[in-house]
Amino acid sequence: MRCADYKHLGAPLSSLLQKGLWLFIIASMPSLTYAQISFSAAIDLALKNSPRVKIAEDDAKRAAVSLSELKNAFIPSITGSSGLGASSGITLNVPTIFTISAQSLVFNYSQLGYIRAGRLGVQAADQSLRGIREQVEEDAIVTYLSLDNAYQCQAAIRSQYEYALRLVSIVQERFEAGYENELELKKARRTALQIKLQKSELEDQIATLTEHLSGLTGLANESELIFPESIPRDELSSVILSESVPTCPDSPNILSAEADAKAKLERASSDSRHTWMPQVAFEAQYGRISPFNGVSTYYNLNGNYNTLSAGVQFQFPFLDLGRKAKTRESMVEASRAGHQVASLRSQQREDCVQLQHSYSQLATRAELTELDQEIATTQLKMALLQQEQGVVTSTSPPVTPKEGQNARIQERQRYVDMIEATEQLHEAKVHLLRQDGKLDEWVNSLASHVKASRSNP
């Protein structure tokens, strides 16, 4: 086939090459939502990447290892040794080529108490880990919701600032035309500056929340880190609107402190039982006597170069002033730990009652701000309708452009107030869930809901 025969294929080939090139470029470009993270994923990443959770996990592992170390005292430890050397004359110790020794604890009343204290230490570490996980969950949830509310407020304040600038322009024109005085112009400028300052403060708040959420999740600090559509607003609203009264059971921190106090009391009791309590130990040893040091010259071995010994050793300590002083110290520490548990429990009850009353007030405030926003929206619609149609009645004078801009500014401010009140209500409810010990259960229910929604799109 000649080259001319391919001319009719040039256009389709060129089109295919262009489409392929564009597809390659689009595939190579980073996705705009790549850095965004969903609500549930943010909580999971916070739990996985939190240094506090990792430290608590290490403490739990250390407590388990310490308990295993206490138990292993009853398992024989076996050691072996070997060596060669020259000697002259009778040796003070029978030289051996190698020696194998085994020893363990058979019975020690104090050691049994230390093991019980070790188990309580494991419980304390586990409860501490649970408490820290709940704190990290709470931090991630509040930060994510606060960032979402901040973005909503930012959009509203941007519109409000545009309305304020337009208001300044309108008042400026009316001032130049002689319809407004200088005081009204200054008031309009002050309103614009107040909104500008509020806008700047909100930008700083968004930057701080984004940095904090980035540190919690371990992701890069991006301008749009959250994915608002992933927030389960229906489930969140159902939890917010629930009227169940929290019982505020003992928090994981209190349970951890209580287990630690019991462990210290058990150690102190074990220290006090050290004196006059029998201690039984097992010992065994096997050795091969060295034939190179002339031992048979001084000892009648009868040709047997093996040595073996095994038995138990009984000890009855009846005077140990150091242990007695340590017992007094342990008792003081146990008493202090018990008083600390009582203090924590009392403080939790006070915080719970205060949080319940605060939540009730915040719920009323949120309802009030929502009603104010609805009123402002209705007033804005009426003002714009009167302004557009030029409706004038005996009770309502004509709406000027200045009044229309003020109505817009007022409506946006009421919307921002409603968002802020809702944020405070959400934060208080999350605190109440953690106080009531149901935060982890709620997070797990959210994860189940997300999985169910993915499996049934």
**pTM, 2 dp:** 0.78
Structural contact between residues 131 and 83, judged by C-beta atoms closer than 8 angstroms: no
Give kind and range of the element (H or E) at residue 280. Answer: strand 279-289
Band (249; pLDDT cuts 50, 70, 90): confident
CA 22 to chain centre: 43
- Alpha-carbon span 377 to 371, nearest angstrom: 10
- What mean pLDDT comes out for the span 160-189? 92
The percentage of residues in the chain with a pLDDT greater than 90, rounded to a whole number, is 40
Structural contact between residues 164 and 191, judged by C-beta atoms closer than 8 angstroms: yes
The region, left, alpha or beta by phi > 0 then psi within -120 to 50, assigned to residue 247 is: alpha
| pLDDT recorded at residue 456 | 56
Strand order in the sheet with 96-108: 77-82, 96-108, 279-289, 306-315
**DSSP annotation string for 165-185:** HHHHHHHHHHHHTTSS-HHHH
Band (20; pLDDT cuts 50, 70, 90): very low
Band (453; pLDDT cuts 50, 70, 90): low
The pLDDT tens digits of the residues spanning 273-301 come to 887 788 888 899 988 887 776 777 767 77
| pLDDT recorded at residue 192 | 94
| pLDDT recorded at residue 25 | 40
Band (1; pLDDT cuts 50, 70, 90): very low
Q: Residues 6 or more apart from 48 whose CB is under 8 A from it? A: 218
- Alpha-carbon span 120 to 262, nearest angstrom: 7
Q: Is the domain defined by 32-451 classed in CATH 3.40.50.2000?
A: no
Residue 82 has pLDDT above 90, yes or no: no
CA 172 to chain centre: 52
Q: Which residues pair with 279 in a beta bridge?
A: 108, 315
Least confident of 65-69, 161-165, 308-312: 308-312
| pLDDT recorded at residue 187 | 92
With residues binned 3-state (H G I as helix, E B as strand, rest as coil), the percentages for the chain, rounded to 5, are: 70, 10, 20
The pLDDT tens digits of the residues spanning 332-368 come to 999 999 999 999 999 988 888 888 888 889 989 999 9
Alpha helix stretches (DSSP H) within 305-400:
321-389
Residue 219 has pLDDT above 60, yes or no: yes
Write b or e for each residue in 342-359: b if 16 or more Cβ atoms lie within 10 A of its Cβ, otherwise e: eebeeebeeebeebbeeb
Residue 243 has pLDDT above 70, yes or no: no
Q: How far apart are the first and last CA of the chain?
A: 54
Q: Pick 176 or 294 by higher pLDDT.
A: 176
| pLDDT recorded at residue 23 | 42
Residue with tokens 């586990």: 126
Largest CA distance in the chain: 136
| pLDDT recorded at residue 222 | 67
Structural contact between residues 260 and 132, judged by C-beta atoms closer than 8 angstroms: no
The pLDDT tens digits of the residues spanning 400-414 come to 888 888 999 999 999
**DSSP annotation string for 184-231:** HHHHHHHHHHHHHHHHHHHHHHHHHHHHHHHHHHT----SS-B-GGGS
* DSSP β-ladder status, 96-108 and 77-82: antiparallel
- What mean pLDDT comes out for the span 371-378? 93
Band (33; pLDDT cuts 50, 70, 90): very low
Residue 107: count of CB within 10 angstroms of its CB: 15
Mean pLDDT of the chain: 83
The pLDDT tens digits of the residues spanning 126-165 come to 999 999 999 999 999 999 999 999 999 999 999 999 999 9
| pLDDT recorded at residue 325 | 87
Helices 182-217/109-176 angle, 10° precision: 150
Least confident of 41-45, 247-251, 377-381: 247-251
- For 218, the token pair is 């371990």
Q: Residues 6 or more apart from 274 whose CB is under 8 A from it? A: 110, 317, 320, 323, 327
Give the Cα-Cα-Cα angle 296, 298, 302 (nearest 5 degrees).
40
Residue with tokens 């509203």: 156
Residue 19 has pLDDT above 90, yes or no: no
Band (451; pLDDT cuts 50, 70, 90): low
